[in-house]
Each structure stands twice: as C-alpha cells, then as structure tokens.
Structure 1
Amino acid sequence: MDRLQQAIQKAREERNSRQQSQPVSATEARQPPAQQVSVDEDIWLAVPEIKIEKHLISRNRLMSFYGGADASPYDMLRTKMLQQTLSNDWHRIALTSPYSGCGKSTTAANLAFSLGRQEELRTIVIDFDMRRRGLAEILKQTGSHSMADVIQGAVPFREHAVRYGNNVIFGLNYASTRNPAEILQSRRAIEFLEQLEADYKPDVILFDTPPLMMSDDSHGFLRNVDCALLLAAAEETSIDHIDVAEQQLAELTSVMGIVLNKCRYISGTFGNEYGYY
C-alpha cells in the first residue's frame, strides 16, 4: 500500500509541476480554482504510459487508432456493445473465439482505442490468453512478467500494467504461462478482479480470453464475466464450429453477440460514401 501511495503522490506532483510551469493568462487568473483531481485519476496516471509506433498502426491493423472512416466498423461495434452494457449494467466483457486465428486480440486492441476516444469512459484491457503474447505482440511492448504473475502476487498490477492516454490501461503477457487453466479458475483470479475494480473503478473491462475449443483455459473463468463476444473469421470458421462455440459460451455467461471478422464489406456499407466519416 505504501508503494501505491508513493506512485500516486509522484503522479500528482508531476501533474502539478506541469501545471505550474505553464503561463497563466489574466482571464485564467480570474477563474475559480478547478475541482481537485480525484484519487482515482491519480491511480490511473501512476501507471506507466506507452506510445504506439506509427508504423505499427497499419501493419498490425490498428484501424481504430486515429478514428475516421477506417475505424467505423469498430466504432459501430463499440457503440452497440456500450448500449448493451448500459441496458444490462454489464462491465466485464470477454472476447473469445472457437479457435485461434479469428482476430480476437486485434479486435480487443481496436475496441480499446475506439473506447479510448470517448474521454469520459475508463477502459481496462486484460490479456488472459496466457499461452501467447497476443496483445503485447500487436502493440509491440516488452516486459518481464505475465498476467499470471500478477494474479499470483509476484508483481503488482500497477507496476505491470501500461497506460495509453488517460483512460485506457492494458494488462499484457510478456511471457507464456504453462498452467493458465488452473490460474484463471483460481480464487486468486477472482480476488484480483475484485481488487482491480475497487482500485481503478473502470467503466469497462475487456478480457482477451483463450479460444473455447482448444483447451479448458477459459471455461472456468468465463463464469466471472458479465457477457462475452464470440469472434469468428469469415470464410474460415465453419457454421458448425460457431454453433458449438456459442452453445458452450451460453452455458458459461451471457452471449452479447457474434462478430464476423475478416469480412470484405461492400463499399458504402458503413456510410463512408455519405460523408459521415
């Protein structure tokens, strides 16, 4: 706790230093003092910030990074997702798929950047597909630990996590884990999530979870989320696999919907030709 308070205090001092170094105009001087920044914001700002290299945006298909026409499919998915979360008071959302290769990690990253452009929302993205470095590889981030280490108490989340902007935090895997099923189904995983919500108070937590039909890694954990999106790859994932995966998912949590990824959309499908983007 002392280290957490020190990190919060450091973030507060750095922010105050930046504010004091900026010249104050006469108009600003007459304004009443702004409301003090909450402790919640200090906790978020204490998480190390990352920058995304520009060359990765196109290469790794981070289409929602800048917004605009290219981001419209993910922005529409974001809006539909948020409508359901508000209607049902959902906060924990899992992304899964029948098998690997359906693009769920890429979708998780794009949803994170799309949600990040809504400044009033706070989003945490956790990579619980612990057998690989999915999101860390997409974002080209390096480190020494995994989310398994965080759950098991080897490293605090605040030291492991990285922040993009002021309202998106990523929990990544920098190394693979040999026994993710046992870790994800443990009491420690539940306690970690409860503490995460208590400390950071996110509006949305996205979980990049393991494929349903390759192992039992996600089956126990999915009971701890409010809902899930099922990702399928166009022209790759069979109807039978989608049907079986959806049935399995429905036994574990609420199915928010099925996302057909890797589609070739007809021109104008998302309103680009009408100048909406």
Structure 2
Amino acid sequence: MDRLQQAIQKARKERDSRQQVQPPLPLTEEQRHIPQDNVDEDIWQAVPEIKIEPRLISRKRLMSLRGGADATPYDMLRTKMLQQTLTNDWHRVALTSPYSGCGKSTSAANLAFSLGRQEDLRTIVIDFDMRRRGLAEILKQTGEYSMADVIQGHVPFQEHALRHGNNVIFGLNFSSTPNPAEILQSRRTIEFLEGLETEYKPDIILFDTPPLMASDDSHGFLRNVDCALLLAAAEETSIDHIDVAERQLAELTNVMGIVLNKCRYISGAFGNEYGSY
C-alpha cells in the first residue's frame, strides 16, 4: 500500500512539473514591430482591391457596406452565425435557398461586409452559383474568368479574386458555366478549397451556392461545407418548399438556421427603441 501511495505522489509531482509554464522571453524592440503572420498579410494584400460605387448601396441594397443602423439585421445575423461557428469549430458556411429570388446573393454580400468590420476576422466569399454572374452583378464588377476557371487551373485565384479592405476576399463569376454540377462535385474543387485554406488561412469561408430545387449543382458540393443557412423570401416562399428544402439540406450538411428574407416591418415593431435602433 505504501508503494502505491508513493507511486501516486511521484506521478502527481511529474504531472505538476509538466504543467508549469515557463515565462516567455521578453521581445526585442525589433520583434515588437514584426507582424506574427507577415507572410499571410502579404498574400492578402497582393489581391487586387475591389472598387464599389457609392450609388450601389441603395440600388443593390448593400446596407452593410458602411455599417450603421441600416446594417443592424445583417450584423445580428453575423453575430449569431459567428457564435455557432466558434462553438462548433465550423469554418465553411454555405448560403442556399429553395429557389432563386430569395435574396441569398444580396445577403452573402451584406454578410461579407458585416464580417469585414470585424477587423480580427478574415473572410473569403466564393460565388459557387456558377450558372449566373450573381455577386459580380450585384457588386457591378467585370472580368474575364469565373470560379470554374480558377478550379480548373486556367487562372490563379490571387489574380482572379478581389479584396475588400484588409480582411475580405471575393471570388466572383464574370461569366456563366455550362456544367457547374460536374465541376462542384469534382476532386479539383476539394483540392482547391484545401489549398485556399492552407494559403490564406481564413476564419470563415462563405459560399453563395445554387438553389436546392433548381438543379443538382449544390447537392454534390454541400457535403464539403461545415454548415449552411437556408434563405427564404417572406410572402413568396411557401412553408412546404421551406420544409422540403430544409430536409434536403439536412441530408447534406448541418443546418445552421433558416433566414426569412425580404420582411416588411414598421419602426418600433420590436419593442423599445434607443440609440440608433
């Protein structure tokens, strides 16, 4: 019995000694001014900066671009999304809808701008709805290639992408792709995403993905994301369509939630107001 107690005490001492953290060495004056992720910063800054015309804010409903009271709904969505991603260690988030016209691309753009105001987060937004220009049309950007060209190796991502501020990168489609389902389900797409995460180390990757009931484009790809938001249009998308789409989505990935878009409400509908609310 004495031997057992001695062994236990010895093990405790060894464990305690391993848990003692040595104090870090003080940084030199030169080290204090060297960014710890200098290589990543250079890679992000090498991406060309996007230019968005101010008139598009109201015309394309880019309410999160400048922040403020008008951005509150998207800021709330951003915060709720980040709470779930941090809790579950999720990084790849898809936005989809039952059919087109639910406003998922507009929501993806606004959510990206809202995330961009979180200076300690890095976000990459990829438009995988390859049958149309989508985000490129909303942001009024022009170019020669699409994300299909990037995946197939016709153009490097860093030459095709556009950067907003210091911490948001967009991968857009400047032309439509005739066979997106085959591309999204290919091994090349998986390798592209793995390379993107290794090189750019984003905290969040947002995917604007095709509607679930319009084609099979999303069905082969959504297994590669951690979770998805389902967007529905108020007074347009039926409960039956939402139910079917949610069940389809749950078979492919984790359903983070359902966002009811295009809602109409009057000021003060949510109770007491104060400040800019």
Range into which the TM-score falls when normalised by the shorter chain: 0.7 to 0.9
Partner of 2:19: none
Partner of 2:33: 34
Residues 85-109 of structure 1 show CA distances to partners (whole Å, capped at 9, x for unaligned) of 0000000000000000000000000
Partner of 2:91: 91
Partner of 2:138: 138
Q: Cα distance 1:43–1:243, how it changes in 2: closer, same or farther (>3 A)?
A: same
Percent identical across equivalent pairs? 84
Would you say how many aligned residue pairs link Structure 1 and Structure 2? 248
Give how far 1:254 is off: 0.1
Q: Which amino acid aligns with 2:33?
A: A
Q: Which amino acid aligns with 2:117?
A: R
Deviating more after overlay: 49-58 vs 100-109 = 49-58
Q: Which amino acid aligns with 1:129?
A: D
> Which runs of structure 1 show a deviation greater than 2 angstroms over 4 or more consecutive aligned residues?
30-33, 268-273
In 1, distance between residues paired with 2:96 and 2:119?
A: 26
In 1, distance between residues paired with 2:50 and 2:112?
A: 14
- Does the CA-based 8 Å contact 1:96-1:231 persist in structure 2? yes
In 1, distance between residues paired with 2:257 and 2:127?
A: 20
In 1, distance between residues paired with 2:70 and 2:50?
A: 23
Partner of 2:77: 77
In 2, distance between residues paired with 1:58 and 1:118?
A: 22
Q: Cα distance 1:32–1:229, how it changes in 2: closer, same or farther (>3 A)?
A: closer
Q: Cα distance 1:224–1:267, how it changes in 2: closer, same or farther (>3 A)?
A: same
What's the TM-score, normalizing by structure 1? 0.87
Q: Which amino acid aligns with 2:232?
A: A
The answer to whether structure 1 residue 190 and structure 2 residue 190 are counterparts is: yes
In 1, distance between residues paired with 2:170 and 2:203?
A: 14
Partner of 2:242: 242
Q: Cα distance 1:157–1:266, how it changes in 2: closer, same or farther (>3 A)?
A: same
In 2, distance between residues paired with 1:270 and 1:192?
A: 44
Partner of 2:23: none
- Does the CA-based 8 Å contact 1:56-1:62 persist in structure 2? yes
In 2, distance between residues paired with 1:68 and 1:271?
A: 19
In structure 1, the gaps of 5 or more residues are: 1-29
In 2, distance between residues paired with 1:200 and 1:57?
A: 28
In 2, distance between residues paired with 1:207 and 1:272?
A: 35
- What are the equivalent positions in structure 2 for 1:1-277 lying under 5 Å apart? 34-36=33-35, 38-269=38-269, 273-277=273-277
In 1, distance between residues paired with 2:258 and 2:166?
A: 30
In structure 2, the gaps of 5 or more residues are: 1-28
1:125 is paired with a residue whose SS is strand
Q: Which amino acid aligns with 2:108?
A: A
In 2, distance between residues paired with 1:189 and 1:70?
A: 36
Q: Cα distance 1:82–1:269, how it changes in 2: closer, same or farther (>3 A)?
A: farther
Q: Cα distance 1:269–1:168, how it changes in 2: closer, same or farther (>3 A)?
A: farther
What's the TM-score, normalizing by structure 2? 0.87
- Does the CA-based 8 Å contact 1:129-1:208 persist in structure 2? yes
In 1, distance between residues paired with 2:276 and 2:235?
A: 29
In 2, distance between residues paired with 1:114 and 1:124?
A: 13
1:246 is paired with a residue whose SS is helix
In 1, distance between residues paired with 2:116 and 2:272?
A: 22
Q: Which amino acid aligns with 1:98?
A: P
- Does the CA-based 8 Å contact 1:91-1:226 persist in structure 2? yes
Give how far 1:269 is off: 4.7
Deviating more after overlay: 241-250 vs 62-71 = 62-71
Q: Which amino acid aligns with 2:42?
A: D
Q: Cα distance 1:157–1:245, how it changes in 2: closer, same or farther (>3 A)?
A: same
Give how far 1:273 is off: 2.7
Give how far 1:266 is off: 3.4
Residues 140-191 of structure 1 show CA distances to partners (whole Å, capped at 9, x for unaligned) of 0000000000000110100000000000000000000000000000000000
Give how far 1:32 is off: 8.3
Higher Cα Rg, which structure? 2
- Does the CA-based 8 Å contact 1:228-1:256 persist in structure 2? yes
Q: CA RMSD in A?
A: 1.6
1:266 is paired with a residue whose SS is coil
Deviating more after overlay: 140-149 vs 31-40 = 31-40
